Amino acid sequence: MEFLFAGSMLLLIYTFLGYPLLLKFLVKNTEKNSSPTASIELPNITILLCIYNGSKILSERLSNLLTNGYPREKISIVVVSDGSTDEPNKVLDALSLSNVKLIHYPENQGKSYALNIGLQHVKTEIVVFADIRQYFLGDTILNMVNYFECSKVGAVSGNLVIEKDENNKQSEPGLDWRYEKWIREKESELYSLIGVTGAVYAARMSSIPTIPSNTLLDDMFVPLSMIKEGYVVKFVKNAIAIDVSSSSIEEEYFRKIRTLAGNFQLLSLCPWLLSPINNPVFFQFFSHKVLRLLMPYCLLITLATALLSSSVYLYAFGCFQLVAYGYSFACYFAKSSSVKLPLSSPILSFCSLNVAAFMAGWKYYFSPVKSLWKKH
């Protein structure tokens, strides 16, 4: 009992505290790369925008992309309508933009399918990926493109900033997202990111692999495939896309399930990720992604072994866990009624992450993958 408790507790501490601290130490003792310099001659680029029933904000989003500080004459935009039923062609016909191309097919096939279709129409070496819902702050595209001056850079990820929706009093930017971004920044400084933010990133067209159908995490499959081929992926802090927080705790919870289920899928698609020999970022991937999937089981083991242990101290710890879980339920129901209890945000973030990690495996292995698709 004590052995199981100690092993599970050590994994919990390493995953949530030890790995970030180790990253901070390693980065501090690693020579930092200099920031990229602006290109004398900026390359032509293509922006790939996959949409599903986003016509209401399509015009505004295109305006944002074309006035982002990058020379407009060097921008081509490919819009892929993944089975949209709200007639995006009428929006584009009204705008009459010569550098925007619409590709439409009648049946919704999912984002990975849409990306593969769109990439077939990209004629430039640098492609920028964007989503319909967010908007880019000034020079975001330029700040990403400048990184490709280095031939080793295969992709760069922008910085998704989540703001509170003033019309929704129940939602606020998650502590877990700020924690996640900090880890990504340190991984980039150490060597390479293991994933990008799908709503704001850029990549070399020549290094982008064909994305398998029904891929849940194209924004991890693509960069990890590049890393295997010898490229690095960098985080660009001043390439900012703005989004609003989820409209409810439930929406954020299901987003986490989809993301974590995607990690299970990645292990099936790319078994080489679990090989220290074949995976150049094995240490980061295992510490950051694989152990996250094991955390709910570690929590259950620490609870069960503590309550069944003959040690008074371990039993007291188990009782403390039960009280903590009870308080998390109170935080959830209090937030649903617009009452905020102390420490409710970090507690709900931690609990929802681990419940989602527990459910993600079941969802992936026993539910249709299509049920986990992300709307564009």
What is the mean predicted confidence (pLDDT) over 168-189? 78
**pLDDT (tens digit, 9 = 90+) per residue, 134-166?**
999 999 999 999 999 999 999 999 999 988 765
Gyration radius of the chain's alpha carbons: 22
**Residues 6+ away with beta carbon under 8 Å from 295:** 11, 12, 15, 16, 353, 354, 357
**pLDDT (tens digit, 9 = 90+) per residue, 81-129?**
999 999 999 999 999 999 999 999 999 999 999 999 999 999 999 999 9
Q: What is the reported pLDDT for 373?
A: 67
CB atoms within 10 A of CB 275: 10
Q: What is the reported pLDDT for 214?
A: 87
Mean per-residue pLDDT of the chain: 91
Q: What is the reported pLDDT for 40?
A: 62
- Phi-psi group of 139: left, alpha or beta (phi > 0 → left; psi -120 to 50 → alpha; rest → beta): left
* H runs (alpha helix) in the chain: 2-13, 19-28, 55-66, 88-95, 111-119, 140-145, 175-190, 218-228, 249-269, 282-285, 291-308, 312-336, 344-366
Residue 245 reports pLDDT greater than 80 = no
CA distance 54 to 132: 7
Q: What is the reported pLDDT for 23?
A: 96
Torsion of Cα atoms, 89 then 95 then 98 then 99, to 10°: -80
- Strands 232-244 and 135-136 come out as antiparallel
Q: Residue 373 carries which DSSP code?
A: P
Q: Residue 3 carries which DSSP code?
A: H
CA distance 1 to 204: 51
What is the mean predicted confidence (pLDDT) over 63-73? 95
CA distance 27 to 269: 30
Under 8 Å between Cβ of 223 and 196: yes
Q: What is the reported pLDDT for 169?
A: 46
Which tokens belong to 345?
A: 């945000």
Cα–Cα distance list, 79 to 199, 263, 330 (Å): 14, 28, 45
Residue 34 reports pLDDT greater than 70 = no
Which tokens belong to 194?
A: 């293991």
Under 8 Å between Cβ of 233 and 223: yes
**pLDDT (tens digit, 9 = 90+) per residue, 186-230?**
999 999 999 999 999 999 999 999 999 889 999 999 999 999 999
**pLDDT (tens digit, 9 = 90+) per residue, 345-357?**
888 889 989 999 9
Q: What is the reported pLDDT for 153?
A: 97
Q: Which domains does the chain have, with CATH numbers?
A: 45-248 (3.90.550.10)
**Residues 6+ away with beta carbon under 8 Å from 166:** none
Across 58-67, 81-90, 148-157, 248-257, least confident range: 248-257
CA distance 258 to 178: 19
Angle formed at CA 165 by CA 164 and CA 169, multiple of 5 degrees: 95
Residue 132 reports pLDDT greater than 70 = yes
